[in-house]
Amino acid sequence: MRDANSHILIVEDDQAIRESLLWVLEGEGYLLALANNGQEALDCLAKRKLPALILLDIMMPVMDGFEFLEKQQANPSIADIPVIILTADKYAVNKIKNLKKNSFMCKPLNLNIFLDLVKNYIQH
């Protein structure tokens, strides 16, 4: 079991991807919270213990990943939480590369590289 600093917020609207990430990360001992879109993620961040890392999809209904990032960066209480952006939109990659302090991976994910990236953010 990892320590209390191993909380991760998964923000993903695709149920199959969300459940796959949940299954893999729980198997690695991480503590997880889930949100279906950016607005749910902001609500979760306002109500719960802040995570050590956010995994963020870009293409989502209600509030997409880019709008979430704008609101996150504008809020000092959550602006420093690192984000790994997960996207299947190859056209979004150029826009994502310009975002500061964030990493990104294209879907489908290479599981070993993904887990290494998560571990880089969450030191045990």
Q: Please give the average pLDDT of every successive group of 10 residues along the chain, which has 124 residues.
A: 74 95 95 96 93 94 92 94 86 63 79 93 74
Alpha helix positions (H), the chain: 15-27, 38-47, 65-74, 93-97, 111-121
The pLDDT score that the predictor gives to residue 124 is 47
Q: Which fold, 7-121?
A: Rossmann fold (3.40.50)
Q: Kindly report the pTM of this predicted structure.
A: 0.89
Residue 109, Cβ density class (10 Å: 0-12 exposed, 13-18 middle, ≥19 buried): middle
